[in-house]
Amino acid sequence: MSEALHYHFDVDGASFANAGRASVETKKLLRQLGVSPEIIRSISVAMYEGEINMVIHAHGGDADVYITEDTIIIILKDVGPGIRNVEEAMKEGFSTAPENIRALGFGAGMGLPNMKRYSDEMHIDTKVGVGTTIELWYHLNK
Amino acid sequence: MLTVDKLIEKLGLDVIELADGSREIKGGYAGDLLSWVMGRAQPDDAWVTIMSNMNVSAVAQLTDVACVIFAEGVAPDPEALSKAKMHGINLLGSRKGMFELCGDVKDAMLSEAHAEADYAETEERN
């Protein structure tokens, strides 16, 4: 693999005010690099879902973006409660988000399904009580 | 081509924030669950919603919709408005209910498409 460009973002877990900052910044970045609008949209949507999840469930976390000539990898890492049942969490409509989050328009149980839908590969590494790391892979030369 | 400007004029929409009225509207989407909207709204859609918090502006930006139309007389939160201003998002409003408003948007799109087809036909005949 050739030398990767690397960008790091702190995902602030304190409020929704800053949620989306990493995805918006990444979107700008990818646009400057000339990545196709379709891939940019996929990455923005998946990453935003990841950020929202980190704010809802994990008091924030880290978002890292690695870009090589043929692959973009997004790594979202938190030290939150972990996902008890990944299979269940992957089902559309399944949500453990509290009521106040639903009032904000989230918690529809679409977070992880959207991330899967909007990535070429998704890898979830999670442990209850330890945290969750999600890798999103995008192949540029499909 | 149905632009945001033209839609405002046709439907008499309230202009809350107009960053680029020349943007073309190619489709529409209605919904308030943001993740649902994120996964399904398409770029250049007119998005009709009653959700008014700042995340609406973030979702509008990430999905690249042509405009957000708040139905039922809903006004965006100050944070949503400032985010929209910052990122160049068109925010419009209407006192109509979601169902009626969506019908109007669809009608506007269809009548624009018909007008264009008529025009092309006349051109061909001449």
CB-based contact, B87 to chain A, within 8 Å: yes
| Chain A nearest-CA residue for B78 | A17
Closest CA to A33 of A75, A68, A73, A74: A68
Residues 6+ positions from B78 with CB-CB distance below 8 Å: none
- Chain A CB contacts of B52 below 8 Å: none
Interior angle at CA A18, CA A12 and CA A21, nearest 5: 95
Structural domain boundaries in chain B: 4-125
The three-point CA angle A106-B56-A40 to 5° equals 90
What value does the mean pLDDT take over residues A110-117?
92
DSSP letters, A68-137, are -SSEEEEEEEE-SS--S-HHHHTSTT-----HHHHHTT--SS-HHHHHHHTSSEEEEEEETTTEEEEEEE
Question: What domain range includes position A87?
Answer: 5-139
Report residue A129 as tokens.
């009580």
Q: What is the pLDDT of residues A39-90, one digit of tens each?
A: 999 999 999 999 999 999 999 999 999 999 999 999 999 999 999 999 999 9
Instruction: Could you please state the CATH topology (level 3) that the domain comprising B4-125 is classified under.
Output: 3.40.1390
pLDDT digits (tens, 9 = 90+) for B17-35: 999 999 999 999 999 999 8
Cβ(B20)–Cβ(B6) below 8 Å: no
Chain B positions in Cβ-Cβ contact with residue A19 (cut-off 8 Å): 55, 58
Residues 6+ apart with CB under 8 A from B2: B24, B25, B108, B109, B112
Query: Helix, strand, or coil here: B110?
Result: helix
Residue A41 contacts B where some CB pair is shorter than 8 Å: yes
Distance from CA of B122 to the nearest CA of A (A): 36
Rounded mean pLDDT of B88-113? 96
**In this complex, which of B32, B61, B64 lies closest to A105 when CB atoms are compared?**
B32
Which residues in chain A have their CB less than 8 angstroms from residue B43's CB? Answer: 37, 41
B58/A110 CB distance under 8 A: no
Instruction: List the single best residue of B36, B38, B42, B70 to mutate versus A (max A Cβ within 10 A).
Output: B38
Please indicate if any CB of chain B lies within 8 Å of the CB of A37. Answer: yes
Phi-psi region of B54 (alpha: psi -120 to 50; beta: other; left: phi over 0): alpha
For residue range A7-50, what is the model confidence (pLDDT) as tens digits? 999 999 877 777 888 999 999 999 999 999 999 999 999 999 99
Number of domains in chain A: 1
Query: What is the arithmetic mean of pLDDT over B63-75?
Result: 96
Check CB contact of B3 with chain A, cutoff 8 Å. no
Q: Please give the order of strands across the beta sheet that includes A71-78.
A: A5-12, A60-67, A71-78, A131-139, A121-127
CB contact under 8 A, A105 and B87: no
B63 and chain A: CB distance < 8 Å anywhere?
Answer: yes
Q: Confirm whether pTM is higher than 0.90.
A: no
CA distance B111 to B117: 10
The CATH number given to whatever domain includes residue A16 is 3.30.565.10
Residue to mutate among B33, B35, B64, B74, with most A CBs inside 10 A, is: B35
Note whether B39 contacts A105, CB cutoff 8 Å: no
DSSP three-state, residue B60 = helix
DSSP letter, residue B51:
-
